[in-house]
A and B are shown apart, each in its own frame.
Chain A
Amino acid sequence: MTLSSALNGAIAGLSVASAQISVVSRNIANQSNTSATRKIANVISVDGLPAVASISRASNTALLGSLLSANSNQAQQSAISNALTQLQSTLGTSSSDATSPTALMGQLTDALQNYADAPQNTASAQAAVTAASNLASSLNSASATVQNVREQADAGIVNSVSTINSLLSQFGQVNQTVVSGTATGADVTDALDQRDSLLQQLSSQIGITTVAGANNGLEIFTDSGVTLFDQTASPVTFTPVAAFSASTQGNAVYADGVPITVPGSSLSIHSGALVGLISVRDNLAPTYQSQLDQIASGLITDFQETDQSASPSQPPQAGLFNNGGSLTVPSTGVVTPALAAAIQVAASATSNPALLRDGGISSNGAAPYVYNPVPGQTGYSDRLNQLIANLSQPLAFDPSAGAGTQASVTDYASSSASWLGAQVNQASTAASYSTAVQSTASTALSNATGVNLDNELSNMLALEQSYQASTKLLNTVNTLYTSLFAVIQ
């Protein structure tokens, strides 16, 4: 052992300590950056002297994987929950404002009842027709809300797809940096962090799995196994629909040339915002629309007018409510698409409300659809009482609409509300559960790979000590050399 080797040791100590302090300061600087991980200076011994061989980072693939899947679920549930909140507005937001179809049907029944008890009263007639108009326009606006929700979901899919494509192209660049950096032994920890962050963003849009390749490279697949990134990004494509009506079908999303959003297909993705949006657009909203259409169909049926002549030969015609002016009564038990958007109160009833009492709304007061044996006699209330009774008569409804098959139109409207309530309740439970899971996964990953300020500071204290010790050593060696040189002189 010589003084010069002691000098080399002290210098090596200084350089290792300063390199480590630089890592500590990098960690402290990135403390509030959620995507940055804790960096570690790997110190090795070369010829008995310490040296920083490389910088690595704290990582946990398992925790990252569970965060990715938690992200996907959370984004999916929140997309559904948000859409349902909008649909929920069709039921009225609080108990005080009665704007739901059920409440408005109740108001129509009340108005008809008042009119039946004073059939000579034109104000009551007017009130009944107004109640009917309110009901029709509430169905129109509910239907518009549903289609608006579908349109927004479609627009959401466009955004999601373009986000996915942009994230995939960024991923390509970063992944390239990682692969080439790893090959040349450069510090790729920042690129790795950035790549993990891109994966997290991507997982919100679409459920993904990753497979490690050579030189730290990654391949990305959807959770159904379709390639999203392998050396290069596979394009994800989607054609939006310009305007939605009840009979409009939305398009599927394609990745790598195959549809990934077709229900029942083995290639269909299972999670992510895309799945939530697709299920709102193609499943939830259309089902609710069918229920609204069935309510409209039930109303037209209940208020239809039949041939009143002694030997009836004419078909029934739509009375107070009709399908956008058409006199055809929709067939019961089958959904007629977009009926809720088109239902309206007959123009003849608006201009002559007394037709509600006498019948003949469909024929504008002409036989054989007039019920009052002597039209114009104001004490006639049988037709009104019949209409009130019709509202509680059971009708057949389409089982595919999911709100029952045999019920009166008022009961059907309330079971439709219950259906929506159950969906809202379920979605909100699922959303808060998946948010909790996501938050737990995110905390676990942050704890495993994030920076603890106190740890870094205590590391820094140790490094400071070691640096000071090395300088002391230098000083001592220097003193020794000085003494040696003094002896020589």
Chain B
Amino acid sequence: MLNSVSTYSLFAAPRNAVSDLQSKLTQAETEQTTGLLADPVQSLGSQIGLDEQLQSQASTLANTQSANGIVQTSLSISQNALSAISSDAQSFVNSLVTAQSSGDVSTLQTQAQSFLSSFTSDLNTASAGAYVFGGDNSSVAPVADYSGAPQTATAAAFQTAFGFSQSSSQASTISASSMQSFLSGPFASLFSNPSWSANWSQASGTGTSAVISPGQSVPSSVSANQSTFGELASAYTSIADLGINNLNSSTQQTVVTSALARANAALAGISGMQTTLGISQSQLTNANSQLQAQSTLVTNWASQLQGVDPYQAATTLTDLTTQIETAYGLTNQIAKLGLVNYLAI
């Protein structure tokens, strides 16, 4: 049969092809320049949800790593403060040992007072507006200065136990055994709850924890309420504020021995806290490298979905350009191709 073509469709064919090719060309141009799909929703279809989730996951992973930086900083600051407290306590222990063997306690009181003051300032260390030893109550300095409520409490306890003040001349009459029972009784109870919270500490709870990766929570601080700190405070206070210089020498030795025992116990406790926080620090480092690895995987996956092979994009662009040029050439050829051009009218 004879196939006929209408002149209209003859001219329309290359014209329709050009408009279709041009719309593809704009897409290819975008893909070539951005390296990403021009229309991700249409191209990915049902995978767009996965793509969005991967992108949001990648940003959450990056954010968790940076948020872990905050935890890391506060852990380091806690560790520094604990080291300072521990090294002070160690020097104090050394002095006590010397005093115990030499029997000379004259310099101890001043030392203890200065250790006590640096102890309270170490416990009041803050990081980014939060007191690291404050537990949940991080906006208030956890430990009061000794000269306030703690001093009054010590004085009152002493007065109650012996009937006179630390500075009284009668202090020398206190026997070693009655001092011993004071130290392990009314005095010790000043440094454990409820007296500790009433007079010394504003901290809340026993420490905070932080979530460092989904489902993984680590201790991120210790609170000033830990009994170790009470123990150390009692060791310092017993030397600093029981009027040790007024006591008779055997009673002095009782006080020194008791302080030494408490300080040593506190040292062990502090090293335990350092270990706990150290474990948190190493867990945090591990978590971060795990998050980093996960983030790389997720980002790769997302870019596999969204990304366009630059070589392929360039080839598509060249292809389309060639096709459009061919269509233009064709339009021109068809325009020349008419019987009317050959008729000598």
Residues of A that sit less than 8 Å from B by CB:
31-32, 34, 38, 88, 91, 94-96, 98, 100, 102-103, 105-107, 109-110, 113-114, 116-121, 372-374, 376-381, 385, 388, 392, 410-411, 413-422, 424-426, 428, 439, 443, 446-455, 457-458, 461
Pair A379/B135 contact, Cβ less than 8 Å? yes
Given contacts A439-B16, A447-B4, contact A91 B52 (CB under 8 A): yes
Whole-angstrom distance between the alpha carbons of A114 and B70 in the complex?
Answer: 8
Contacts of B52 in A (CB 8 A): 91, 100, 102-103, 414, 417
Pair B6/A447 contact, Cβ less than 8 Å? yes
Given contacts A91-B41, A106-B56, A452-B7, contact A421 B49 (CB under 8 A): yes
Pair B49/A103 contact, Cβ less than 8 Å? no
Distance (Å) between the CB of B232 and the closest chain A CB? 22
Contacts of A31 in B (CB 8 A): 7-8
Pair B50/A379 contact, Cβ less than 8 Å? no
Pair B59/A107 contact, Cβ less than 8 Å? yes
Whole-angstrom distance between the alpha carbons of A458 and B70 in the complex?
Answer: 88
Binary interface encoding of chain B residues 315-330 relative to chain A, with 1 for a CB under 8 A from any of its CBs, else 0:
0000000000000000
Residue in B13, B45, B135, B214 whose Cβ sees the most chain A Cβ within 10 Å: B45
Q: Which of B144-152, B269-277, B336-344 lies at the interface?
A: B336-344
Of the residues B42, B51, B128, contact of A118 by C-beta under 8 Å: B128
Whole-angstrom distance between the alpha carbons of A454 and B52 in the complex?
Answer: 57
Pair B49/A379 contact, Cβ less than 8 Å? no
Whole-angstrom distance between the alpha carbons of A485 and B119 in the complex?
Answer: 151
Contacts of A373 in B (CB 8 A): 136
Residue in B41, B48, B57, B208 whose Cβ sees the most chain A Cβ within 10 Å: B41
Pair B138/A378 contact, Cβ less than 8 Å? yes
- B28-63 residues with Cβ-Cβ distance < 8 A to A are 34, 36-37, 40-53, 55-57, 59-60, 63
Of the residues A34, A94, A418, contact of B8 by C-beta under 8 Å: A34
Pair B60/A109 contact, Cβ less than 8 Å? yes
The 4 A-B residue pairs with the shortest CB-CB distance in the complex, in nearest-first order = A450-B6, A106-B56, A418-B49, A425-B45
Pair B210/A116 contact, Cβ less than 8 Å? yes
Whole-angstrom distance between the alpha carbons of A443 and B70 in the complex?
Answer: 69
Of the residues B5, B45, B204, B208, contact of A426 by C-beta under 8 Å: B45
Pair B204/A385 contact, Cβ less than 8 Å? no
Q: Is B157 an interface residue (CB 8 A)?
A: no
Whole-angstrom distance between the alpha carbons of A337 and B42 in the complex?
Answer: 28
Pair A121/B8 contact, Cβ less than 8 Å? no
Of the residues A103, A378, A392, A461, contact of B55 by C-beta under 8 Å: A103
Whole-angstrom distance between the alpha carbons of A461 and B221 in the complex?
Answer: 103
**Least CB separation from A91: chain B residue:** B41
Contacts of A413 in B (CB 8 A): 49
Whole-angstrom distance between the alpha carbons of A120 and B74 in the complex?
Answer: 13
Q: What are 16 residue pairs bridging A and B, where the CB atoms are less than 8 Å apart in the complex?
A: A34-B8, A88-B42, A98-B55, A103-B59, A110-B64, A372-B136, A381-B208, A388-B211, A410-B56, A418-B46, A421-B41, A425-B41, A443-B9, A448-B4, A452-B10, A457-B340
Given contacts A102-B53, A117-B71, contact A95 B340 (CB under 8 A): no
Of the residues A88, A378, A418, contact of B50 by C-beta under 8 Å: A418
Pair B60/A110 contact, Cβ less than 8 Å? yes
Given contacts A116-B210, A443-B9, contact A418 B340 (CB under 8 A): no
State the majority secondary structure of interface residues on A.
helix
Contacts of B306 in A (CB 8 A): 95
Q: Is B153 an interface residue (CB 8 A)?
A: no
**Least CB separation from B11: chain A residue:** A32
Contacts of B4 in A (CB 8 A): 447-448, 452, 455
Pair B8/A410 contact, Cβ less than 8 Å? no
Number of interface residues of B (CB under 8 A): 60
Contacts of B129 in A (CB 8 A): 120-121
Pair A105/B130 contact, Cβ less than 8 Å? no
Distance (Å) between the CB of B43 and the closest chain A CB? 8
Whole-angstrom distance between the alpha carbons of A455 and B338 in the complex?
Answer: 10
Residue in A32, A378, A439, A457 whose Cβ sees the most chain B Cβ within 10 Å: A378
Pair A418/B47 contact, Cβ less than 8 Å? yes
Q: Is B193 an interface residue (CB 8 A)?
A: no
Residues of B that sit less than 8 Å from A by CB:
3-10, 12-13, 16, 34, 36-37, 40-53, 55-57, 59-60, 63-64, 67-68, 70-71, 128-130, 134-139, 204, 208, 210-211, 214, 217, 221, 306, 338-340, 343
Contacts of B343 in A (CB 8 A): 457, 461
Whole-angstrom distance between the alpha carbons of A422 and B49 in the complex?
Answer: 10
Whole-angstrom distance between the alpha carbons of A281 and B338 in the complex?
Answer: 50
Pair B50/A377 contact, Cβ less than 8 Å? no
**Apart from A120-B129, A420-B48, what 9 extra A-B contacts exist at CB < 8 Å?**
A31-B8, A95-B306, A113-B63, A377-B138, A379-B134, A410-B53, A419-B46, A421-B46, A447-B9
Whole-angstrom distance between the alpha carbons of A416 and B53 in the complex?
Answer: 11
**Least CB separation from A119: chain B residue:** B138
Pair A416/B36 contact, Cβ less than 8 Å? no
Pair B53/A451 contact, Cβ less than 8 Å? no
Contacts of A121 in B (CB 8 A): 128-130
Distance (Å) between the CB of B175 and the closest chain A CB? 44
Distance (Å) between the CB of B38 and the closest chain A CB? 8
**Least CB separation from A38: chain B residue:** B6
Whole-angstrom distance between the alpha carbons of A425 and B46 in the complex?
Answer: 8
Pair A421/B130 contact, Cβ less than 8 Å? no
Of the residues B12, B44, B67, B130, contact of A379 by C-beta under 8 Å: B130
Residue in A414, A449, A457 whose Cβ sees the most chain B Cβ within 10 Å: A414
Of the residues B41, B130, B340, contact of A378 by C-beta under 8 Å: B130
Distance (Å) between the CB of A443 and the closest chain B CB? 5
Pair A102/B130 contact, Cβ less than 8 Å? no
Pair B9/A450 contact, Cβ less than 8 Å? yes
Whole-angstrom distance between the alpha carbons of A120 and B136 in the complex?
Answer: 9
Whole-angstrom distance between the alpha carbons of A415 and B47 in the complex?
Answer: 9
Whole-angstrom distance between the alpha carbons of A461 and B343 in the complex?
Answer: 9
Pair A422/B67 contact, Cβ less than 8 Å? no
Of the residues B12, B46, B136, B208, contact of A422 by C-beta under 8 Å: B46
Contacts of B340 in A (CB 8 A): 453, 457
Contacts of B9 in A (CB 8 A): 443, 446-447, 450
Residue in A100, A102, A121, A385 whose Cβ sees the most chain B Cβ within 10 Å: A102
Whole-angstrom distance between the alpha carbons of A417 and B45 in the complex?
Answer: 9
Given contacts A118-B70, A377-B137, A443-B12, contact A91 B48 (CB under 8 A): yes
Distance (Å) between the CB of B215 and the closest chain A CB? 8
Of the residues A113, A385, A453, contact of B7 by C-beta under 8 Å: A453
Contacts of A120 in B (CB 8 A): 128-130, 138-139
Residue in A118, A119, A439 whose Cβ sees the most chain B Cβ within 10 Å: A118
Contacts of A419 in B (CB 8 A): 46, 49
Distance (Å) between the CB of B218 and the closest chain A CB? 12
Given contacts A388-B211, A414-B52, contact A452 B6 (CB under 8 A): yes
Contacts of B3 in A (CB 8 A): 447
Pair B57/A32 contact, Cβ less than 8 Å? no
Given contacts A377-B137, A424-B42, contact A447 B5 (CB under 8 A): yes
